[in-house]
Structure 1
Amino acid sequence: MAAITSTTTVTMDDGAKLFVKVLGGPVTNTAKPLLIALHGAPGLISHLESEATFAFLAPHYRVIAYDARGSGASDQTPPYTHARWIQDIEALRVWAGADKFVLAGHSYGGFVALDYALAHEDRLNGLILRDTWTDGRSAPMGALARIVTSPRVAGKVDIERQIRLWSGRLENQAEFEASIVEILSVYAPPDELVEKHNREQGIASSGEPAALEGDGSTKPLYNWHAQNFAFSRNMPDFYVRDRLNEIRAPTLVVVGRHDIVTPVALSEEIANQAGNAKLVIFEESGHNPAVDEPAKFQKVVLEFLLGL
């Protein structure tokens, strides 16, 4: 049966509807393994990032790229807790008819993926963690400090607004958008590597900051309530550093060498302490190796998956 791409909405047990895209479907083809991808940045990023990252797997996997509740085109139905997001992942697994699957999480999606792995490891064939951390109590303020002192934005950002962003105390939607736009450039690798990548891909340099989404084609649908809840309520309770050795599923840990948001040391910690993990550092990448070094990223991920 030929692989297809389809979009739909899937209703959760509380009535909330999630926007879902299935790559490499149909979803009913349970003979094909399943991968569920979790995007980062609640209330900001959407399925577009996951789709752009994992579309290459369509010949091999059914890939579910979806908007988490509170993000993109999915319902903005609280609560925006990790526990609720984990229930939604479970509902999608059941909807896809998979007993076990591979879970992939980028950035904030990695936080949720780690919590899922500790709650439902028996459901995982594998785990892919991309540029993430284990300690929500201290890491957000560390990220804030590195961002506002970055030469790319130092002296050009509203520091008080950035504090509200990273502590979950944004005052409105417009402030959310402004706070993100002013720091976009820090997510990319150094300028000389951006220029190198652009030359290799035949892309003219625009001087614009990196796109928020995977293909940059759609403006994010901001939901400041999800961002505030995630960083004021979820992060202070998110701490899995002492439980990493409980994760036995084969785990691929990916990080960009030049990521200042979730630095290499944080991924090294995960790889060193998880029970069955492999770390790959992308030497020419920032916060998203899937965008910065796509050919290498795809090779590494496919080799990992074929080895499961």
Structure 2
Amino acid sequence: MGSSLPLKFALFFSLSLGAAAVPLSLPRNLSPKSSRSPPPKATTTDLLSLLGPPQQAASVNSVVAQQLRSCFKFLAPFNQTLPTRRALISQLNAPLTRTSEEIDHLIWSPPPPVLELARLAVDSGGDPGAIHRALDPTIITVPDVEGSNEDRCELTRYPYGWRFIDEALNSYIEFLFKTIVERGPEVGLNVSLSRYDFFHGHLFLAKESGRLGILFHAKEYPAYDKELFPCNMGYCQVGSNVAYDDSMNLRNILWLAPLLNDSRKAWEAPGVLVVLDAHPEGIIYRDLIPEYVHIARTLYEDDFGEVVVDVNYLNVGGETSKFQLFVC
């Protein structure tokens, strides 16, 4: 998408060993391997806890915590306490004039409609219906996206979608897409808003806490390569210009809304936006990515919690590059 083209974005969502004796002459380095404890294994609950308040982070095994933290690439500085100063809500609609500090604050402490949705998620006990009721019931048909119809490609879960009733919610999700594109290169993630690369995320309610989050996926349809990526992904892969390289390690991006404390009266942890590095030597690749999708480095949203809707930021304007947000 050229920089000279006018951009218009819109948002759509889609719904012990026993006591048997060991010979005294057996060298120590030949002792039975089963006597050694296996290394602790990470879980998505561990990952979410490390991105929560200090008491949650302290509950994670120290070895696991250290290895997981080494795989976090934050797109806004990570804080475990809420900032004392909020970004101005009006700045949400003025992306060209936002300062880096304002962007940070919008991630840490989103506008009131986002905080209210996060509160509903927790107060409802993680009920997806609480989020569904925030959607405008008007059905929007998903139009052709960058020639996908001609390729018989269906990018969304359903051929229709919705938007949130409160436009500030739609604008905030658009803001997250744009911020990931703008700040990604700082951590080695170069992505484009296109149907082959970065266009969707999965909104979920986290296990146990009910914390609102979105797991974004970039590099969705890499080009087929018989050596590097010998995977036929169907119609939506046809024509892809997304190269399979080390950037695939960074295709999972996680946003978490601020977290309410147990009394549900105060905010206990600020918002987070982080790229999860799934390089093959790391703990995320080893413990959290199923073996059958190692090549694609895919973390699954179901592992984080109850999936509520998909959020899709699609180029539906052809040559004029107009983007719309669909909730499906």
Choose 1 or 2 for highest CA Rg.
2
* TM-score between both structures, scaled by the size of structure 2: 0.29
Bigger relative contact order, structure 1 or 2, given CA contacts below 8 A and separation 6+?
2
